[in-house]
Each structure stands twice: as C-alpha cells, then as structure tokens.
Amino acid sequence: MGERDEAARARGAAAGGAGEAPNPQRDAALALYRGIEDDYLRALEATGVAFAPRDEERARARVLRAQVEAAGGRVRNGGASVASGFLSRACAACTGDCVSRSFALTNNCHRDCFFCFNPNQEDFAYWCEHPFPWRRLLDELAAEEPRPAAVALTGGEPLLMPDEAVAFFARARELFPDAHLRLYTAGDMLDRALLGRLRDAGMDEARFSVKHDDAPAALERVLGNLALAREVIGTVMVEMPVIPGTEGFMRDLLRRLDAMGVDGVNLLEFCYPLWNWPVYESMGLTLRNPPFRVFFDYSYAGALAVEGSEEACLELMAWARAEGLALGLHYCSLENKHRAQVRNVNEPHRDVDARYAFDYGDFFLKAGMVFGPDRAPVRAALRETGCRDFLEDEAAGSTTFHPRWLAAAAAVRRPDGGLARPCVSSSIAVAGEDGAVGLRELKLEPLEDAAPVQLDDATAPADAAAGITCWG
C-alpha cells in the first residue's frame, strides 16, 4: 500500500508548498483511516480474492459520466446513479427522502446464478426452508409508515408461489393505495393469465432479470414473456448486472428491448457477494480498488464491486444515446445501493450537531476539520466571517466546524505564510444504549481530495420527473 502513502505525501506537498510547517496531528488522523482501509483489504485478500490496481481517480468513469450527462443524462446521488430518459418511480424513491421497502415470499429460486446475492444474506438457508411472514411485515410497515412511495416483491423467485404473489400485491394495494408496486422476476414462469392476475391485484411494474449466459431457447422464452408483459402491465423494465466482457451481448439486447418498447433498463454494477470466487477468477475478473469510497459495514448483500463494470455500464449508456435508442437507462452502482442505507440512517438526524451538515450528494453527515498549527488561525478567521460553532478535541489536536466554512478555511494563512489544510470528515448517526444519537466518524480526507459537500437537495427536480410523491 506504499503507493497510496507516496501519492498522499505528493498531494500534501503540492497543497502546502515547500517549507510547510509539520502537522503531526493531521498526519496521524489521516494515517488512522488509511490503516483501517489497508487492514480491510488485507483481510479480504487473505480469502483468495484479487483486487485491481488501486484507482481512486476513476478518470475513465468520470469522462463517460460527463458524456452521458452531455447527452441529457442526469447525474444523481453524487455520481453513484446516472439516469437517462425514463426512470422508474421505484428507483427515484429508493434513495429519495420517502419510504421504499422490499419484501420476499421465499429465498428459493429455480435459477442458480453464480453471482446471486441471496447466499450472502443473513439466515439465507432458513428462508429457503420457511416462507417469509410477508403479511405480518406488510402490516408492520403500515403501522410505521401508512403511505410509502414504493413497495417491491423480490426473492428468490416470487413466481414459484404465484397465488401468494397475487395475494401479496392485493394486500399491499389495500394497505397502500398510492404506492408504486413492483415485481422482480426471472420472467420465465409468466403467462398472460398470471400477468393479468398480478395487474388486477395492483402490480404497477414488472422488472425482469435477463441472463447473459442463458441458452438461446431460454433467453427467447424470457424475451417473449417480456413482450407479453408489455401488453398487460403498465411499466415493464429489465434489471441486470453488466459483466465486463459481455458488452456485445448487451448492445444486441438493448436494441431488441428498445424495439419491443420496454420502458427502461437498470444497468447494475456487477458485484462479488462473498461466495463462489473461483467462477469470478476463471473469468479473469478482479475487484474494484478501493472497494468503497467510505468504508462501513453496509447491509446490502452485493458486497464488492467488480473492476470495469462501472465503465461498461456508462459506455453502454453513451452508446445507446449515440445509437438513438429511446428506452430509459439507469446506471445503479453498488455505492448507490449503499447510499440508500446511509440516507435512511442519517437524514432523520441531519440536525444532530451544529458543526455537521447532511450532504445531499452522498448522504453522510459532513464537517470541516483542521489540526495542530492550523487550528488557531482558522478559528480566528472563521469567527471574523461569522462562524461561532466549533468542536475542540485537545486529545486529537483538532477543531471541527460546519462544512459551509471549508472554502474560507482553505484560504487562511498561518503566521509562517503557509496555507491551512482543512479536511472533510464523514460520519454516520448511531444510537447509544440510552437512545441518545451520536456520530461515528467513518472517513477523514484532505479537502483537495474530497467531493464538494452538497448542502441542499439539488437532485429534487430530477427525481420529481419520475412522479414520486414523498409524504412527510
């Protein structure tokens, strides 16, 4: 991991200039988080997985994201989501400030996909042998939030239990008349009669998972059922991961789906869900490095992103727009899944501390920090501009302040003439044993390396286009 340390030193020298005063407190704080990340990677590598060379800049992905945006795409959630054209109401709700929930009937599935996330879920085997208590869970949601924006039925394969699937949508529609109700399915167990029953029970959207490695006859059966659903269901989508090396298949598929009038395709970042690594290895795949921008124990079972999938998704989006395809496209990264969790945790506590702000870009709670010799001059300068709230930590040698003052702090010169070098702190809200909410810091990074903190919800217009109404 020495290359990262050398790069950090080089950035520091460039930012501070020659003769910069030592700042051991800042160095120690940054080194703490570098050490946590390095330990995490070493532990994963010990299981036999392989990471790609470290790439924090993701320059190719940035270029492609900009190309899609220039063609009318909408960059959402700090770049973790990119939408072009139609966006499902459910996708808008997923990381929105309104409630979206998913339920299952069973973890059983007639498919055996090597990349399935379900085996990485807690109590996976138990819920293969026992049905989920979906009726009770729906009633509990109704008691907690009587007007959710979106409700999904997933699995496993829900259509292994077709009567239960119909009953699920009927009960969900009864409880939540305004919610957007969707089904996830492999698609090969549908027929016109079942589609009609699901529609009549209240299902708004059918979301198919198309498999790139299906035999031709199996693929045609799924696509035939997809075309049938297009005649019966209001919204029909495809959602599938993009595996590096399958771009030719994906281009042909997108052409066919566009000709069929499919509303949209969710292009998912391909992931390794902590099982079945030999298959990934046999395909020559490696894992994204670093695996996370902010390291945390995320609950989403996708686990780790595969290197190159993000670029493949964005290349397909750029190609489709250049090709003139009309269907909606949405790149949903692993990080976007994580951001749904982070927003759900942090947004209710956006005002937990006057020194912190809820970042509408990535949904972490952010603060500015300075260390050691930067503290006194920054504190004095910020007070002159109106900042009154500081958090002093003498043990760590740090001063924390609201991120709106970061630019002002970066312009402060110390008595020796060097510029102050503020950092950005990312935290998540945690409840103590007494129920009081505090903050757990997850990452500290130099301001010059951090994404700008988004202090207002500039994503609202894009999400509003999907027709989502959020209830207070």
> Where do the structural domains in the chain lie, given as residue ranges?
23-41+350-449, 59-336
pLDDT for the residue 58: 95
pTM for the whole thing? 0.91
pLDDT for the residue 132: 92
* Reported confidence tier of residue 21, pLDDT bands at 50, 70, 90: confident
Between the alpha carbon of residue 340 and those of residues 292, 337, 353, the distances in Å are 15, 5, 22
Joined together, the tokens standing for residue 368 give 């500015």
**Treating both helix axes as pointing N-terminal to C-terminal, what angle do 192-201 and 216-232 enclose, rounded to 10 degrees?**
40
Tell me the pLDDT tens digit for each residue of 89-127: 999 999 877 789 999 999 999 998 988 888 888 887 888
Angle (CA) 298 304 307, round 5°: 145
* Reported confidence tier of residue 466, pLDDT bands at 50, 70, 90: low
Averaged pLDDT for residues 233-253: 97
pLDDT for the residue 472: 33
Homologous superfamily (CATH) of 59-336 is Aldolase class I (3.20.20.70)
- For residue 17, pLDDT over 50 is answered with no
* Reported confidence tier of residue 468, pLDDT bands at 50, 70, 90: low
* Reported confidence tier of residue 457, pLDDT bands at 50, 70, 90: confident
Tell me the pLDDT tens digit for each residue of 273-326: 999 999 999 999 999 999 999 999 999 888 999 999 999 999 999 999 999 999
